Chains A and B, each alone.
Chain A
């Protein structure tokens, strides 16, 4: 079974995608061998009514993906009353975690409000996913250029939040990077990475070597990316069976179990 930790519901603002309706997404993922998918919402990128975004996400997961789609609501610490939204994600929607989009919401990972958010999430036992990017900046709309988020401030932050469970999504620009700041993050036992934007010949093997075979999880960034990209990366890595199984399922299951 595959646990896909990085899928998105609803419509990407700039393009129609095969699978951008919840039923179509679930059907396609099941056909491709996925047994569970952790879903954020594309609506969260631009909508200010984030409460409505999370309501629709939770409802769609219940209606179209019961026991299959796991909703990860969004909290934007630059919006008023965001602490209440975190509470709703946890207590009302029963979500195991939240997904953040710093690039689209106008803050860096050095922002004090992010520190507060991560601290609250950790105290609630919520997992936090941070999408470091969503799209190659070179191909973005000229009306909306969103650079990838720099994870280096996490080097100071993560040691102060040992109970936090953090999953960095779409870390293509940074995952496996060897600068001292990023290296410190990659070695923290409570920080996981997906591999949707990992690239290059032997890229996945390098990522596993640099970080840890126990802290890389399967993520496709579907439907923005073709799902087969992540799948073929695993197939072409030539991994031992136990490592492949951990990547497909075991690591994500362990990460989720803490929720």
Chain B
């Protein structure tokens, strides 16, 4: 369904009213402008940490919150209950079916992203074809299993995605104490990205410890970074823009465990030019998705 810009803006206006703009916080008069100033797309979201029973009900909750902050579109990844470290092919399909159901409920607000695992390469390629090549999904990931992403099993999956120019969202963290077994780091992603310069990667969470993650990926141009899923520590986005350029920084939230609010704040509150905020909040993601959206005849 083509995106109706007027409908989106109308929804945003409703969100503004619902958020109580002419409120006791009169000094916030400038804040409402953010809702209309940007076209906000969120690259990283899940249906987990929500209490509703079905994917359709959960995505309704997310869209309600999107409306309140003027978020135009979500890229929705797997996740409904507990984290699965070793998904079976059947679990992979179940997760993707949930995302398809949620995206179908709000086709003008949600695009799906396919869940794949390097534990099951052949089944992952088949799932990519079912959900992306022959289905409505437009992205790969969040790739998150307990097999680090520098493993050669990732290679055929990346080649498959690159052939259709579909970007790949890869989970990464660098935990001070210790990463989970098999958890990927930005170093692992750099190895993978250098093996596949034709593919486009998105470094999930910027490794969490972003001061390290940003510098690890800095000189690998086919890695963009996304800012989701960590505390809204000030200076994050400023450093990312300084080191990577605004063109390689992408907004994501990692809802439902995180909030749209805390993650959007990293961009809204950053002391960077407005033009950089426009790119980070949606422009860069739309640019990365443009080939697959165009191929599918979907709006961007």
Contacts and interface: CB of A to CB of B under 8 A. Distances in A.
A30 B28 CA distance: 10
Interface in A202-259: 202-203, 222-229, 231-233, 235-236, 238-239, 241, 244-245, 248-249
Interface string B156-174: 0000000000000000010
Interface of B: 18-20, 23-29, 31, 49-50, 61-62, 64-65, 68-69, 173, 175-177, 208-211, 230-235, 238, 255-262, 264-266, 268-271
A232 B176 contact: no
Nearest to A136: B231
Interface in A169-201: 197, 199-201
Interface residues of A, number: 48
Interface stretch (A43-51, A78-86, A120-128, A140-148): A140-148
Contacts of A200: 49, 255-259
Interface stretch (A15-23, A54-62, A101-109, A154-162): A15-23
Interface of A: 1-2, 15-19, 30-35, 135-142, 145, 197, 199-203, 222-229, 231-233, 235-236, 238-239, 241, 244-245, 248-249
Nearest to B179: A138
Contacts of B26: 1, 33
A229 B269 contact: yes
Contact of B209 (A31, A139, A226, A229): A139
A239 B20 CA distance: 8
B69 A225 contact: no
27 contacts: A19-B234, A138-B176, A138-B208, A140-B176, A141-B176, A145-B176, A199-B262, A200-B255, A200-B256, A202-B50, A202-B65, A225-B234, A226-B234, A226-B268, A226-B269, A229-B269, A232-B260, A233-B261, A235-B20, A235-B68, A236-B69, A236-B260, A236-B261, A238-B18, A238-B64, A238-B68, A245-B24
